[in-house]
């Protein structure tokens, strides 16, 4: 089948298109390097006018092979959608219409993001986190692990109140010391020092709160 004849591009229109949008394409690929490619298609001749961080091994002047150009111009943004790159990797893409001064669709910018790289990272992390298989802590070895008991109680307390550890107020810290004391957290050797470090308090302040509770009791 003979290749369809490509109409001659409007050089002035293409220069205007690239002057307006090429630097935006470069900004996107610079920010997300090396995972993003941006392609600018010239609708005057349906060819590729600009490629930034070429991941698809296409060339400027290649046929755009765009479908539903009218829909892209009407909706202005199409996607995200997925397609397969030449190397078999998944790309997540969006296409957005580019307009001239008269408000007519002059081009289409396609942003293609290599998500396969993140699939590989996730697989590696999953493998690492699974390790050789996690077993329960040996009971005899950890039966007196007061640090873990403090950690478990502390983060349960924070979750219930939807508070971040680094945003605790002075009142929160005092409440936590009181709650930990009620749980018997300060029976462990050096437990007061540990709580002071975890909560970002001075040891003297922790001891002061403990003394006040003892005197009040």
- Does residue 103 share a domain with residue 53? yes
What is residue 139's predicted lDDT score, i.e. its pLDDT?
A: 46
Residue 127 belongs to a domain? no
Q: Coil, strand or helix: which one is 94?
A: strand
Residue 184 belongs to a domain? yes
Residue 91 belongs to a domain? yes
What is residue 168's predicted lDDT score, i.e. its pLDDT?
A: 85
- The one-character DSSP state at 63 is B
35-86, pLDDT tens digit by residue?
Answer: 999 999 988 888 889 999 999 888 888 887 766 566 666 777 887 888 888 7
- Does residue 64 share a domain with residue 37? yes
What is residue 143's predicted lDDT score, i.e. its pLDDT?
A: 44
Residue 129 belongs to a domain? no
Give the pair of three-digit tokens for residue 94: 């969006």
Out of 56, 84, 118, pick the residue that ends a domain: 118
Count structural domains, the chain. Answer: 2
- Does residue 149 share a domain with residue 111? no
- Does residue 91 share a domain with residue 29? yes
- Does residue 114 share a domain with residue 16? yes
- Does residue 195 share a domain with residue 149? yes
What is residue 104's predicted lDDT score, i.e. its pLDDT?
A: 83
What is residue 67's predicted lDDT score, i.e. its pLDDT?
A: 65
Out of 118, 151, 179, pick the residue that ends a domain: 118
Q: What is the mean pLDDT of each run of 10 residues along the chain (217 residues)?
A: 48 83 94 93 87 90 72 75 83 89 86 86 75 52 62 86 86 87 79 85 85 73
- Does residue 186 share a domain with residue 146? yes
- Does residue 55 share a domain with residue 20? yes
State how far the Cα of 158 lies from the Cα of 180, in Å rounded to an integer: 12
List of residues 6+ apart from 75 with CB closer than 8 A: 97
- Does residue 86 share a domain with residue 151? no
Residue 39 belongs to a domain? yes
Domain that includes residue 114, residue range: 11-118
Q: Coil, strand or helix: which one is 16?
A: helix
The CA angle 109-17-54, to the nearest 5 degrees, is 45
Q: In CATH, what number is assigned to the domain containing residue 94?
A: 3.30.450.20
- Does residue 26 share a domain with residue 111? yes
What is residue 34's predicted lDDT score, i.e. its pLDDT?
A: 92
- Does residue 111 share a domain with residue 150? no
Residue 2 belongs to a domain? no
Residue 34 belongs to a domain? yes
Residue 211 belongs to a domain? yes
Q: DSSP string of 138-202? A: PHHHHTT-HHHHHHHHHHHHHHHHT--GGG--HHHHHHHHHHHHHTTGGGSTTHHHHHHHHHT--
């Amino acid at each position: 089948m003979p290749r369809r004849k490509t109409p001659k591009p409007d050089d002035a229109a293409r220069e205007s298109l690239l002057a307006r949008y090429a630097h935006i394409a470069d900004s996107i690929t610079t920010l997300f390097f090396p995972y993003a490619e941006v392609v600018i298609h010239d609708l005057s001749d349906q060819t590729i006018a600009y490629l930034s961080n070429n991941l698809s091994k296409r060339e400027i002047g290649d046929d755009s092979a765009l479908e539903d150009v009218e829909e892209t111009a009407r909706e202005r943004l199409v996607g995200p959608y997925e397609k397969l790159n030449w190397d078999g990797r998944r790309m997540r893409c969006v296409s957005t219409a580019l307009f001239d001064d008269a408000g007519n669709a002059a081009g289409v910018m396609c942003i293609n993001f290599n998500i396969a790289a993140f699939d590989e990272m996730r697989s590696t992390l999953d493998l690492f986190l699974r390790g050789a298989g996690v077993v329960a802590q040996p009971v005899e070895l950890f039966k007196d692990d007061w640090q873990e008991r403090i950690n478990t109680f502390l983060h349960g307390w924070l979750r219930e109140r939807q508070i971040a550890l680094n945003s605790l107020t002075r009142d929160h810290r005092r409440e936590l010391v009181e709650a930990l004391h009620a749980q018997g957290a300060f029976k462990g050797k050096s437990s007061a020092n540990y709580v002071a470090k975890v909560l970002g308090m001075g040891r003297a302040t922790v001891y002061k709160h403990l003394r006040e509770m003892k005197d009040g009791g």
